[in-house]
Chains A and B, each alone.
Chain A
Amino acid sequence: MTNKTISAHDPCVNGWSVLALTAPIAMGYIPLGTVFGFLFVQAGAAWWLAILTSVFVFAGASQYMMIPMVAAGLSVGTIALATLIVNLRHVFYGLSLLKKFPQGSLLRWYMVFALTDETYSVLTTIPESTSHKQMALVALLNHMWWVLGTVIGAVIGAQAQLALAGLDFVLAALFAVLTVEQWRTKKTPAPLWVALAAYAVAHLLAAKHALVISIVLSIVAGMLWQPKSVAVGEVHND
């Protein structure tokens, strides 16, 4: 979501500085969690389901994606596939944390579960000397900020009536922000143009299923796609 770099050169990280480390993340997670909770309830789902989602899924972009999909009643399989695609980037996060994480304990698997973009950015920048308990505390605090925001949003959403047309644009605005942040990290805007073309084709074919069709078209394009110069990592396939 937001790109915040956290610098922590203090070799002795105690409980309070862990709290300070997650403060910039709280600034992002609480309002964005609130927006999620609000829109989820406004879409017509029970308030406790919004909280359940933030506790057990804990992945911002896919939770936002889920709202229009659940509202449209898409199948569980389709939503699972879309989640797989949106969260595919998480596959690469663990690689740089393999040795830092505690070995073979419940703590390890909780930290794997809670490895969001933001937690990843903190855990990869804190000093080597940080204890496993403190690392787990970073993950837990971030998880709590996200759930807290969701609770606030769900409570507001359960009471408020949408009186203004177009307030749901907030979701589109969020996707626009995420698109810009993805675009910034890429060497080429090709995936953006491919997606626009795919959606146009899918909308002409079957407007009702445009999203699913265009996702499939984009996966096919992504598999055939050959970056001009070797992209991120050492991919030797030319």
Chain B
Amino acid sequence: MIDSGYVVGVIAAMGLVTFALRAVPFVGAQWLQKHPIVQRLGEFLPLAIMTLLLVHSVTGAALEHPGGPWPELLAVALVVFLQWRSRNALLSIVLGTCVYVLMRNPGLGWLTELF
């Protein structure tokens, strides 16, 4: 069980930071426009951070089980392909997760014969 007091602290910090960011233009719009570095980071970081979170969230599992990182690579590639083509987040997530779970649970192999 994760310590609740610690999580409350995290929630308070995240809530304050998020509110502060959303409030910045209402307090100092001009300051923002004067700083190209803020705009450059705003342009660069979101994609970089999402990529990092993606890689980080699969690395643990990919190194953990024998047989190499192939299930993770395949499933991520599938989600990226589906999302790029369909733009349907729910479809991409559900299909990608199902395929990954099938690959990780050999006992469910009989299911694949249905396709």
Q: Are B51 and A192 in contact (CB under 8 A)?
A: yes
Residues of B within 8 A of A206 (CB): none
Q: Which residues of chain B (73-115) have a CB below 8 Å from chain A?
A: 75-76, 79-80, 83-84, 87, 89-90, 92-93, 96-97, 100-101, 103-105
Q: Are A98 and B50 in contact (CB under 8 A)?
A: no
A121 to chain B, nearest CB (A): 14
A57 to B41, CA, bound (A): 22
A79 to B14, CA, bound (A): 7
A85 to B92, CA, bound (A): 25
Q: Are B8 and A49 in contact (CB under 8 A)?
A: yes
Q: Are B25 and A93 in contact (CB under 8 A)?
A: yes
Known contacts A95-B25, A166-B101, A169-B100; is-contact A79 B51 (Cβ 8 Å): no
A231 to B25, CA, bound (A): 20
A222 to chain B, nearest CB (A): 4
Q: Are A191 and B2 in contact (CB under 8 A)?
A: no
Taking a contact as CB atoms closer than 8 A, the residue among B48, B83, B105 that contacts A194 in the complex is B48
A25 within 8 A of partner (CB): no
Q: Encode B32-55 as 1/0 by CB contact (under 8 A) with A.
A: 100011111111111111111111
Residues of B within 8 A of A24 (CB): none
Known contacts A91-B25, A179-B50; is-contact A56 B15 (Cβ 8 Å): yes
**How many residues from A make CB contacts under 8 Å with B?**
102
Q: Are B26 and A88 in contact (CB under 8 A)?
A: no
Residues of B within 8 A of A227 (CB): 40, 43
Residues of B within 8 A of A82 (CB): 49
A135 to chain B, nearest CB (A): 14
Q: Which residues of chain B (2-38) have a CB below 8 Å from chain A?
A: 2, 4, 6-19, 21-26, 29, 32, 36-38
Given A176-B54, A211-B56: 14 more A-B contacts, CB < 8 Å: A31-B90, A45-B2, A52-B11, A62-B18, A87-B17, A87-B21, A91-B24, A91-B38, A94-B29, A195-B49, A219-B41, A222-B45, A227-B43, A233-B39
Q: Could you show 22 A-B contacts with beta carbons less than 8 Å apart?
A: A46-B1, A56-B11, A62-B14, A65-B53, A70-B7, A76-B13, A83-B14, A88-B21, A108-B26, A166-B71, A166-B100, A169-B97, A172-B72, A173-B100, A176-B54, A178-B50, A182-B46, A195-B49, A195-B55, A203-B59, A235-B36, A237-B40
